[in-house]
Structure 1
Amino acid sequence: MEKKVAIIGAGLSGLIACKYVLETGFQPVVFEADEGLGGQWRHTIESTKIQNPKQDFQFVDFPWDSSVKEDNPNNQQVQAYFNAYAQRFGIVPCIRFNSKVIDIDYVGESNEDIKSWELWNGDGTPFGSKGTWHITLQDTKTFSTEVYKAEFVILCIGKYSGLPNFPEFPHGKGPEIFKGKAMHSMDYAALDNKTAAELIKNKRVTVVGSGKSALDVATEIADKNGVNYPCTMIQRTVHWFLLDFKIWGFSLAYLYFNRFAELLVHKPGENLLLSLVATLLSPFVRSSNRIKSYFFL
């Protein structure tokens, strides 16, 4: 009996999941609500680039094309890279575009049995249970619905899933009393260049947040409006911004962006060995912080 595997989302993680499911011999189906693959990279502003060197942002079995000379490719180059990856490994035929998942239900097993499981279908294997996943799909163009049944589901919907995280404000202290315009970065990214330029022209703009999207939006607005109408960023917590600084060809960022970095700090509930390692490495932490302060401040 053919085992059906459903993958939800055709972004970065969805493409990788589909490739490895294909390699196991199954025939997966990827459901993507958008018209193309790429996930959030299809909804970024024009000036968005990857924040890491391209060597640190690539598939292990599919390097960047030699025509990409930039160290930090832009969103168009990233999308082209994803599409080339999908073409290379036969992923595109598996994707059903304009198919939005609006409901998932597990049918065929009692709630009592499911709650008793610790792994998958009760014995640690991904297949073999009596139940199946019922996935309700909506065509984003015709709004018709259908139900797809699968034995296994992989969620690759990303951290934000296309939903803007707009904070809640007390009554009388929110955007409704603001005389200007308040919008989320996702809504700004959805604007075309002309509309975005007209929206911010000759206006003082404040960007709340200091994440990747905040920095991208603030940079673009500052470039378009210049010094006469400055862009202000407001952040809740001060962050370190690590530059691509190297000593003898070794990037300092690697000291903080890997598993080794977790050994440098004490953690709640750590055992004696981890506590001893963090204590022994504390001089290294202090010296590296001095180096950062010297070069970055």
Structure 2
Amino acid sequence: MNSAPHDKTRIQPEVGDRPIRAAVIGAGMGGILAAIKLRERGMQVVVFEKGHGFGGTWRENTYPGLACDVSAHWYTYSFARNPDWKSLMAEGPDIRDYFDRVAREYGIDAITRFGEEVISLRYADSVWNLQTAADHGDTFDVVVAATGVLHHPNIPHFEGIESFEGDVFHSARWDHDVPLDDRRIGVVGTGSTAAQLASALVPRARRFDLFQRTAQWVLPRQNVPYSDEERARFRENPEELEELVRELRAKTLEGYAAAVIDVDSPELAAIERLCRENLDTVRDPELRRRLTPDYRAACKRLVISGTFYDAIQRPNANLVTAPIQGIEPEGVRTADGAFHDLDILVLATGFLVDRFIRPTTVVGRGGISLDDVWAEGPQAYLSVSVPDFPNLFLLNGPNSPIGNFSLVEVAQHQIEYILQLIDGIRHGEYAEVSVTPAAMRRFEDDRCEAARKTVWVTGCDSWYLDKRGVPASWTFSYDRFEEEMARPRMEDFDTR
């Protein structure tokens, strides 16, 4: 891994700079990044992590077949490339190890309080008063919430599930004590997690039932391994590795990122053609019909897999499309009257993606509650700032670019933007900074207007959509995102 010790990259404070204490909430990808970059600015940083290790979603998800569907070399910090990825898309344990190594090499382990969930943030007298569930209290000048979105499991209730005599758990709470080989396994869901589980478990199961709630478009992509020679070249020639990152990045942004914001784009037409060609590899016409979505490709997050259709066509695999009527002691009863006897039931039903920093109680200027501000759905200006919550910044927050590209790169753009706002505090230009209500409204109006041309509003029920049916994501071009992140428009901010 190409990285430098943290003390060699630190920017020395200028004479007269105000000392800043910063809290970072979360020790996943975004939290590690924030802590490194804040320390580079010479700030005193404390990281609070509810779990007991680094990695965020890559720590909490440990299910068989777990992998990232974004190219591994692009899914790394630009200052800490990893020449030793084994394949184009990395497996979950290797990603977790990568983030753990970076955190420790940059000394973030020494400033992280593990097992300390932040339960309260209250703003008063230009500081944030922080309280943890372990009864630890402290005050900070700035807070960066890097809590992510894929860590509160969405667990639907099925009638009778308490009576099931087998093993049942959510995919993000995998029980590794449960044996899998030659068992009857059922998985509820058909998103990326379910597709990865099918690919991993069908070869091991006696029978595998996939309870499909909604058919998904699957974009084929083979996970090509890197040879020892290629990895050696990447170690010896960092510029060759950077060129590969540029190629992987350009291929995705020129295809997927352009496609989702313009429903009439040739890029979206190309994605749909690839998905349909992939679907045509399903030999049985009836199975192919049941696997065919009734909405546009990329309306939901694309499943990226070169193995799912092979797995679901195996003799011991069964696609169940009838709705689940209830759970009985020995299996699942579906609405068509069929009974599916099971030893294991896995809920691959996703996450509550509108939580962000919640359930932490956050109270801003004048006693305003974030729960009240977000009562109709979370919103943030450029995904990083909320009116009346000064010196509180979000990484990968509401309306952030999401989808089949690198959230690591997204977070790097956002933290550099946030650092410029914090620099004004450091240099004594102001003590408090948060977006103005007028700028927040203008941004949200523009974002909702832009949403009308996106593929996300073409008629599917997706976790991308909020209560209003508006995509809870970045609806502009990725170029605009980079332009916005280059420098804050200070006229959009309330500084005091």
TM-score of the two chains, using structure 2 as the length reference: 0.43
* Superposed displacement of residue 31, structure 1: 0.7
Is 1:218 matched up with 2:208?
no
Q: 1:176 aligned to 146, 162, 168, which one?
A: 162
Q: 1:231 aligned to 208, 221, 233, which one?
A: 208
Contact 2:182 2:204 in 1 (8 A): no
Report the counterpart of residue 171 of structure 2 in structure 1. Answer: 185
Structure 1 counterpart of 2:69, which letter?
Answer: Q
Report the counterpart of residue 82 of structure 2 in structure 1. Answer: 64
User: How do 1:1-297 residues align onto structure 2 when only pairs under 5 Å count?
Assistant: 2-43=19-60, 44-45=62-63, 47-65=65-83, 67-101=84-118, 103-108=119-124, 130-139=125-134, 145-161=135-151, 163-169=152-158, 173-178=159-164, 180-188=166-174, 191-192=175-176, 195-197=177-179, 200-225=180-205, 229-244=206-221, 254-258=253-257, 260-265=258-263, 278=264, 281=265, 285-286=268-269, 289-297=272-280
- What is the SS of the residue equivalent to 1:56? coil
Structure 1 counterpart of 2:178, which letter?
Answer: A
Report the counterpart of residue 491 of structure 2 in structure 1. Answer: none
Report the counterpart of residue 112 of structure 1 in structure 2. Answer: none
* Superposed displacement of residue 7, structure 1: 0.7
User: Residues 95 and 36 (structure 1 numbering): CA distance in 2 closer, same or farther, change over 3 Å?
Assistant: same
Q: Any stretches of 5+ residues in structure 2 without a counterpart?
A: 1-17, 223-246, 281-496
- Number of residues of Structure 1 aligned to a counterpart in Structure 2: 237
Structure 2 Cα separation of the partners of residues 257 and 286 of structure 1? 11
* Superposed displacement of residue 253, structure 1: 5.3
User: Residues 29 and 177 (structure 1 numbering): CA distance in 2 closer, same or farther, change over 3 Å?
Assistant: same
User: Residues 288 and 210 (structure 1 numbering): CA distance in 2 closer, same or farther, change over 3 Å?
Assistant: closer
Contact 1:206 1:232 in 2 (8 A): yes
Percent identity between matched residues is: 24
Structure 1 counterpart of 2:256, which letter?
Answer: F
* Superposed displacement of residue 187, structure 1: 2.5
- What is the SS of the residue equivalent to 1:29? strand
* Superposed displacement of residue 291, structure 1: 4.5
Provide Cα deviations, 1:202-252, integer angstroms capped at 9, x if missing partner: 432221112233233333332322xxx22122232222221237xxx9897
Q: Any stretches of 5+ residues in structure 1 without a counterpart?
A: 109-129, 140-144, 266-277
Contact 1:46 1:75 in 2 (8 A): no
* Superposed displacement of residue 256, structure 1: 4.3
Contact 1:137 1:147 in 2 (8 A): yes
* Superposed displacement of residue 146, structure 1: 1.7
Structure 1 counterpart of 2:146, which letter?
Answer: C
Provide Cα deviations, 1:85-128, integer angstroms capped at 9, x if missing partner: 22343323221222222x213142xxxxxxxxxxxxxxxxxxxx
Output the aligned Cα RMSD.
Answer: 2.8
Provide Cα deviations, 1:62-98, integer angstroms capped at 9, x if missing partner: 1113x33322332332122112222343323221222
Higher relative contact order by CA 8 Å / sep ≥ 6: 1 or 2?
A: 2
User: Residues 100 and 214 (structure 1 numbering): CA distance in 2 closer, same or farther, change over 3 Å?
Assistant: same
Structure 2 Cα separation of the partners of residues 288 and 51 of structure 1? 16
* Superposed displacement of residue 54, structure 1: 1.3
